[in-house]
Amino acid sequence: MSSYFRNAMEVFKLLNKSNCKECFKPTCLAFAGSVFKGEKKLEECPYLPADVIAQFKDAQQKSPITDQGALDMMENYRKSIAQIDLESKAQALGGTFADGRLVIKVMGKNVSIDQHGKIFTDIHANQWVVMPLLNYIVQCKDAPISGIWVPFRELPSGRSWQGLFEKQCEELIKKVADTYPGFFQQILELFNGKEVEKHYKSDIALVVYPLPKIPLLICYWLPEDGIDSDLNLFFDAKTEDYININSIYAIGAGLARMFEKIAINHGF
């Protein structure tokens, strides 16, 4: 199954919906279903623009976020963590050490990790939290963040993931913000978000901390004079010193899905 699309509709949205059958499928929707299941490749539709195909292909080749790839990667991180002195690294990670476990705040909530990389938390620690957290413990440099905000595409490895990041992260969060009026207030309350000075002339700007040295700035522009609303995420320019691009993407996509669930639970 494709791990780059959450469902067949996401593939369908990319197609021209002409049902021309040149892909040897009866409809665009059937083609989308086959791509989602991994039976067809996007490039088998001759009408998809090359840049769209390239974006998804590139990410697919570079990304290890297949189910098996992610499991293997987490296993490797756990092996590396077993070799790390967590107590002496705790400060560099922006965490603490107590009762034999490293304690790190994830979105403002305590998560603890033992020497085997086993995670203990009250929050629902699905894969989007686990992989970036393990990666962070292994990779995080003992150096301060830069304090300079950059959009995802300006991170050193961000460009080839940009299309996917826009679709799976920024567009989804924008949709939640557009439809759920209490969204930003909820983030402030639930995740210890901090309202900050308005950046880039945005109407709302707030920072959350998926990990202690991974601040994430969310900027939202309200619709105005017939111009649609907009939402962009910004990262510290040095983020890739602490986690890799796979983990940065996983955080963005994971947060987008979590925010969606919160909105749905509130009836939006």
Q: Which of 7, 9, 47, 143 binds ligand SF4 (CB under 6 A)?
A: 47
Q: Which of 2, 5, 8, 31 binds ligand SF4 (CB under 6 A)?
A: 31
Residue reference for tokens 């991170």: 155
Q: Is 11 in the site for ligand SF4 (CB under 6 A)?
A: no
Residue among 28 and 81 whose Cβ is closer to ligand SF4: 28
Distance CA 108, CA 48 (A): 42
Candidates 17-25, 71-79, 182-190, 203-211 — which segment interacts with ligand SF4 by CB under 6 A? 17-25
Please, what is the minimum distance in Å from the beta carbon of residue 34 to ligand SF4?
9
Please, what is the minimum distance in Å from the beta carbon of residue 55 to ligand SF4?
17
The counts of H helices and E strands in the chain are 10, 9
In the chain the beta strands, taken as DSSP E runs, fall at: 96-98, 101-106, 109-113, 119-121, 149-151, 194-195, 204-211, 214-221, 230-236
Q: Residue 137 in contact with residue 89, Cβ under 8 Å?
A: yes
Please, what is the minimum distance in Å from the beta carbon of residue 24 to ligand SF4?
8
Instruction: Sort strands 214-221 and 204-211 into parallel, antiparallel or unpaired.
Output: antiparallel
| Nearest CA-CA partner of 161 in 235, 240, 247, 245 | 245
- For the record, the structure tokens of 132 come out as 């970036």
Candidates 22-30, 150-158, 231-239, 260-268 — which segment interacts with ligand SF4 by CB under 6 A? 22-30
| Nearest CA-CA partner of 90 in 105, 73, 107, 75 | 105
Residue among 35 and 205 whose Cβ is closer to ligand SF4: 35
First to last CA, the chain: 29
Candidates 16-24, 55-63, 133-141, 184-192 — which segment interacts with ligand SF4 by CB under 6 A? 16-24
Instruction: Quote the radius of gyration of the chain (alpha carbons, Å).
Output: 20
Helix (H) or strand (E) holding 78: helix 67-82
User: Residue 84: what are its φ and ψ, rounded to 5°?
Assistant: -95, 140
Site mask for ligand SF4 (CB under 6 A), range 193-222, x = bound: ------------------------------
Residue among 11 and 65 whose Cβ is closer to ligand SF4: 11
Q: Is 20 in the site for ligand SF4 (CB under 6 A)?
A: yes
Residue among 22 and 39 whose Cβ is closer to ligand SF4: 22
Q: Which of 3, 9, 13, 21 binds ligand SF4 (CB under 6 A)?
A: 21
Please, what is the minimum distance in Å from the beta carbon of residue 35 to ligand SF4?
9
Q: Which residues bind ligand SF4 (CB under 6 A)?
A: 15-16, 18-23, 25, 28, 31, 45-47
